Amino acid sequence: IHCSLFTEEFKMHHNQEEQSVNQMSAQPEPALHGDSNSDPLTDQQPPAYSKVEFKRHAVTDDYKITSQVLGLGINGKVLECYCKKTGEKCALKILYDTLKARREVELHCRVSGGPHIVRILSLYENMHQGKKCLLIIMECMEGGELFSRIQARGTRPSQREVGHKASEIMHDIGMAIEFLHHMDIAHRDVKPENLLYTTKDSNATLTLTDFGFAKETTLHNSLQTPATLPTMLPLKCLGQRNMTNHVTCGPWALCGFPPFYSNTGQAISPGMKQRIRLGQYEFPNPEWADVSEEAKQLIVQLLKTDPNERMTIGQFMNHPWISQSMVVPPTPLHTSRVLTEDKELWDDVKEEMTSALATMRVDYDQVKIKDLDTSNNPLLNKRRQRPVPGGAEKGGE
Ligand code: ADP
């Protein structure tokens, strides 16, 4: 019912705005992603991404919106829809028109041609329930969410298959994050619900979506140089820098639970923060017993508490377990068993990750404010350069 009302409303709005619709449709179609033949990471020039353009006629003119829910997020349902012209199955995400929503759309568009990133196909500005909304039409990721797939496997898949999968998953996430860093964007919400497979096939591509918490990192940080490694990373807020996004997903993907886990039921308990800061964690058996030393060493490098020691995204991509992910020895994993033995555990893990990421983002912002005050405040710098009134010209300490 909700969906059909929704469709109706778009139609009504369209009729009311016939005038502007005609004007808008006379404009050229926006090209939202880069040239599909170019490789954004190796090409000398970064791909040319067009600026965000919204169509203002009703989305229902171009797409048939179904009541099929592809997934639920904090902003509501993502619905299956079909392009009327081509019949292509797509996904529709609806956001109320706010500054935050515009930033999400803008950043997602900017990276929408990149490797292992969900593509945006079209954007609309429509009225819904009396409110202006932004509508994002994306490619439909028919393979669903990352962990649903691992979970759905249920009983033991072949060890070779799982071993390959674990390193390939990390490789694909790394590709997406490397590209984002290259574009000076930190995603800040890399978690299994935001990692979707293109199709249900075993050779499907894993792609990253949901730029609702993404941030540009050009102002006071650059994600490129290890020395200034900003710190989009969740863990960086706890006293660390570098390689933020990987840390959250990697260890979880490997064994089914995070290396840091709260004993108190809080997202991040004070004790847990302390353990993360001090780098106190272990790889308990039996879950980690069969994970290769190489993979464990990689995790150790990602969780280094000293930012200068922590791996950069480039080093991560060059690590043999990642760069040779197609041929590394298979790692038998317990993720699927851990998650299927106790279904509630999975919901807990998801919840834990979501709150942990939220806490880390808040911490990060607070850390940044401090940094700016102390290290990069232009007014402060100016003051420091001014001669001290009444003081000696030189060496007036
Ligand atoms: P929110 O910002 O509200 O959390 P998301 O963008 O994370 O929304 O989408 C919510 C869920 O919808 C995802 O976890 C996923 O299951 C599903 N989803 C999102 N985008 C697509 C897509 N392009 N194709 C298929 N399913 C999608």
The residue contributing the CA closest to ligand 1 atom 10 is 73
Of 31, 156, 136, 42, nearest to 91 (Cα)?
A: 136
pTM of the model: 0.69
**Exposed e or buried b per residue across 140-164, where buried means at least 16 C-beta atoms within 10 angstroms of its C-beta:** bbbbbbbbbbbbebeeeeeeeebbb
Of 194, 89, 269, nearest to 258 (Cα)?
A: 269
- Stretch (H or E) spanning 195: strand 195-197
For ligand 1, residues with CB inside 6 Å are: 70-75, 78, 91, 93, 118, 138-141, 145, 193-194, 196, 209-210, 212
Per the listing, tokens 């999968």 go with 165
Per-residue pLDDT of the chain (397 residues; tens, 9 = 90+): 233 333 333 333 433 333 332 222 323 333 333 333 333 333 334 444 446 899 999 999 999 999 999 998 888 889 999 999 999 999 999 999 999 999 999 999 999 989 999 999 999 999 988 999 999 999 999 999 987 877 666 544 444 445 456 888 889 999 999 999 899 998 989 888 899 999 998 889 999 999 999 998 875 444 443 322 222 333 333 333 333 433 333 444 444 444 444 444 455 556 666 666 666 667 777 777 778 888 888 888 887 767 778 788 899 999 988 888 766 555 555 565 655 556 666 777 777 778 777 776 765 555 554 454 555 555 556 555 655 554 444 333 3
How many angstroms is it from 212 CA to the middle of ligand 1?
Answer: 11
- Token pair belonging to 209: 């979506």
Residues serving a catalytic function are: 189
The residue contributing the CA closest to ligand 1 atom 1 is 73
- Token pair belonging to 273: 């923060």
